[in-house]
C-alpha cells in the first residue's frame, strides 16, 4: 500500500495552487493592505506614483484600496473620483465632474488576475458631502455607486468611469461627521448579497484609533456588517509610536478595538488591521521603522481579531526601501492562522437593518446621468489624503508547498502485520519482496514525476495566460 500513500500528498499540493496569489483573506492574521491613488510621497521619476498594475506585481501586497471617490452625488448626479497624477489626463463625462479612466479599469482587471483585492475608498480628507439628507437618499446613493463601480446592471444608465472593470468592494474612510451612513452601508451590503455573480465583495472601514471613531461610528457601532477595518494608528495619542512593552505606559489601544470586534461589531469575526504610515512623510506622527513595528506586531498577535497591517500609501512604502518586505517577515506567511470567518457574500451574513422600512431593490438608479465623456481634461483638485490618513498593508498569497518527488516513504505496517508475516516466513521469498518494493517505489516515483510535470505545465499556462491578459488589456 505504500505507493498509494505517496498519492495522498498530491491532492494537498494541487490544492495549494489555488492559494498561491495574494488577496484579502478573512481567515488570516497576515494581510497586507496598501492604499494607492494619492501620490502621497510626491516623488519624481520612479518614486512618483506608478500605474496601479505596477504595484500588483508585488507578491507581498494582498489588498489595494484605490483612493478616492470624493463625492457620491456630484455635479450632474454622478460620483466624483480622483487618483492624483494617474487620473489628471482622464476625460470627463459631459455635464459632470466624473472622470472617465478606462486605463485604470484595465489595470484593475490585471490586478484581479493576479489575485489582488481592489477596493474603492469613499471619502478622504477632502470629502465634504456630509453624507445624505435622508435614509432613502442614502439608499439611492448606494444604488448609484453599485451601478457605477459594481457589476454592470442591465438597463442601467449609470456612467462607468472604469469601463467594464468590477471592483471587489468599498472602503469607508470618512474624516468628518456624516449623516445616514448606516443606511448607505446597509444598502450596499444588501446589493452585495443579492448579486448573482461568483465574485466576492467586501465592505471595509478606516477609522482613526481613538475609540469610538467619531466619523465612522454610525457604521461601526453595530448596525452594519463590516468584513474588516484598518485602524489608523497614527496622528493620534494611540498610535503605534506610543506602544510600550510595559502595558502601564503604553497608549497603543489595539485591545480596545479587539473588544469592539468581540462585543460591538455586528460581524463578530471582523478583522482588525493595524494601520501605519509607510514612511516618515506619510503622517504628522506615528511612523516607526519596520524593526520597531515588528515589536508592535508581535504583541498584537495575541488578539484573535488581528488581520494584518495596512499602509498609507504605496508611494511612501516604495520610497521606504524594504519596508513592505520587512513587515511581511514580521507578520509571517500569508494566510497564516486567524479565526474562521464567513464568506463575505454568503447568505449567512446578517441582512440589512436600516430603520427605513423601504424594501431594497436592485433596479437601475433613477438619478444616474446618461452621457459620454468629453474630450476635455478635468481640472478638479487632487484629493490628498490628509496626513493622518491610514496606511494599509496586506499579506501576500499562500506560499507554494515545497515537494520532494524522489523521497521514498517509510513503512507504516502495523505490529499485527509483522506478526502475521512472521508466521509464514518460510513461504516468503526475500527477493520477491524486494522486487515488490522496487516496483512500488518505481510506480510512486513515476506518478510523482508525471504530476510534477503536469503542475509545472499548469503554472506555465497560468503565467502565459496572465501575460496575454495583461497585453490585451493594454491594447
List active site positions: 175
The answer to whether 22 and 116 have CB atoms below 8 angstroms apart is yes
Please state, in angstroms and rounded to a whole number, the distance separating the CA atoms of residues 84 and 194: 33
Phi, psi of 148, rounded to the nearest 5 degrees: -80, -40
| Full strand arrangement of the beta sheet holding 373-377 | 99-100, 91-93, 373-377
Please state, in angstroms and rounded to a whole number, the distance separating the CA atoms of residues 33 and 26: 13
Please state, in angstroms and rounded to a whole number, the distance separating the CA atoms of residues 355 and 180: 10
C-alpha cell at 261: 470586534
Please state, in angstroms and rounded to a whole number, the distance separating the CA atoms of residues 87 and 91: 9
The set of residues, in sequence order, having a beta carbon less than 8 Å from that of 124 and lying 6+ positions away, is: 38, 67, 68, 70, 173, 175, 383, 385, 386, 389
Please state, in angstroms and rounded to a whole number, the distance separating the CA atoms of residues 41 and 384: 11
> Half-sphere exposure of residue 390, counting CA atoms within 13 Å on the CB side?
36
CA-to-CA dists, residue 251 to 237, 245, 473, angstroms: 7, 10, 47
Burial of 97-128, coded b for 16+ CB within 10 Å and e otherwise, reads bbbbbbbbbbbbbbbbbbbbbbbbbbbbbbbe
| Concatenated DSSP letters of 319-387 | HSTTHHHHHHHHH-STT--------TTSTTSPPP--S--PPP--SPPTT-----EEEEEP-PPP-PPPT
C-alpha cell at 463: 503565467
C-alpha cell at 216: 465612522
Among 343, 334, 279, smallest CA distance to 307 is for 334
Residue 371 CB burial class (10 angstroms; 0-12, 13-18, ≥19): middle
Please state, in angstroms and rounded to a whole number, the distance separating the CA atoms of residues 168 and 65: 10
Report how far apart the first and last C-alpha atoms of the chain are (Å, whole number): 54
Q: What 8-state DSSP symbol labels residue 396?
A: P
> Half-sphere exposure of residue 26, counting CA atoms within 13 Å on the CB side?
19
Amino acid at each position: 500500500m505504500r505507493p498509494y500513500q505517496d498519492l495522498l500528498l498530491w491532492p494537498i499540493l494541487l490544492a495549494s495552487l489555488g492559494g498561491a496569489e495574494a488577496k484579502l483573506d478573512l481567515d488570516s492574521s497576515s494581510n497586507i493592505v496598501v492604499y494607492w491613488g494619492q501620490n502621497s510621497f510626491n516623488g519624481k521619476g520612479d518614486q512618483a506614483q506608478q500605474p496601479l498594475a505596477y504595484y500588483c506585481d508585488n507578491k507581498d501586497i494582498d489588498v489595494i484600496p484605490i483612493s478616492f471617490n470624493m463625492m457620491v452625488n456630484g455635479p450632474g448626479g454622478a460620483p466624483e473620483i480622483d487618483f492624483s497624477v494617474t487620473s489628471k489626463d482622464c476625460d470627463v463625462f459631459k455635464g459632470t465632474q466624473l472622470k472617465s479612466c478606462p486605463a485604470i479599469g484595465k489595470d484593475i482587471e490585471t490586478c484581479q488576475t493576479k489575485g489582488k483585492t481592489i477596493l474603492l475608498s469613499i471619502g478622504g480628507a477632502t470629502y465634504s458631502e456630509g453624507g445624505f439628507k435622508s435614509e432613502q437618499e442614502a439608499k439611492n446613493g448606494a444604488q448609484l455607486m453599485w451601478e457605477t463601480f459594481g457589476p454592470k446592471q442591465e438597463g442601467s444608465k449609470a456612467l462607468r468611469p472604469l469601463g467594464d472593470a468590477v471592483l471587489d468592494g468599498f472602503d469607508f474612510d470618512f474624516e468628518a461627521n456624516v449623516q445616514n451612513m448606516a443606511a448607505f452601508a446597509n444598502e450596499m451590503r444588501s446589493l452585495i448579497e443579492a448579486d448573482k455573480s461568483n465574485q466576492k465583495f467586501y465592505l471595509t472601514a478606516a477609522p482613526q484609533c481613538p475609540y469610538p471613531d467619531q466619523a465612522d461610528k454610525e457604521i461601526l457601532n453595530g448596525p452594519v456588517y463590516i468584513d474588516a477595518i484598518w485602524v489608523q494608528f497614527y496622528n493620534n495619542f494611540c498610535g503605534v509610536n506610543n506602544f510600550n512593552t510595559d502595558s502601564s505606559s503604553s497608549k497603543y489601544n489595539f485591545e480596545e478595538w479587539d473588544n469592539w470586534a468581540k462585543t460591538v461589531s455586528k460581524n463578530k469575526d471582523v478583522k482588525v488591521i493595524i494601520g501605519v504610515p509607510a514612511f516618515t512623510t506619510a503622517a504628522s506622527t506615528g511612523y516607526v521603522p519596520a524593526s520597531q513595528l515588528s515589536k508592535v506586531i508581535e504583541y498584537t498577535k495575541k488578539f484573535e481579531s488581528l488581520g494584518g497591517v495596512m499602509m498609507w500609501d504605496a508611494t511612501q512604502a516604495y520610497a521606504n526601501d524594504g519596508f513592505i518586505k520587512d513587515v511581511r517577515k514580521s507578520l509571517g506567511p500569508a494566510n497564516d492562522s486567524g479565526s474562521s470567518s464567513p464568506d463575505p457574500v454568503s447568505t449567512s451574513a446578517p441582512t440589512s437593518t436600516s430603520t427605513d422600512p423601504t424594501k431594497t431593490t436592485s433596479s437601475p438608479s433613477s438619478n444616474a446621468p446618461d452621457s459620454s465623456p468629453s474630450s476635455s481634461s478635468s481640472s478638479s483638485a487632487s484629493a490628498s489624503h490628509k496626513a493622518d490618513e491610514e496606511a494599509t498593508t496586506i499579506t501576500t498569497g499562500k506560499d507554494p508547498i515545497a515537494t520532494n518527488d524522489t523521497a521514498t516513504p517509510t513503512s507504516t505496517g502495523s505490529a499485527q502485520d509483522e506478526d502475521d508475516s512472521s508466521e509464514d516466513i518460510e513461504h516468503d521469498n526475500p527477493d520477491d519482496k524486494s522486487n515488490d518494493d522496487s516496483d512500488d517505489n518505481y510506480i510512486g516515483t513515476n506518478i510523482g514525476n508525471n504530476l510534477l510535470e503536469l503542475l509545472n505545465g499548469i503554472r506555465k499556462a497560468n503565467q502565459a495566460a496572465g501575460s496575454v491578459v495583461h497585453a490585451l488589456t493594454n491594447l
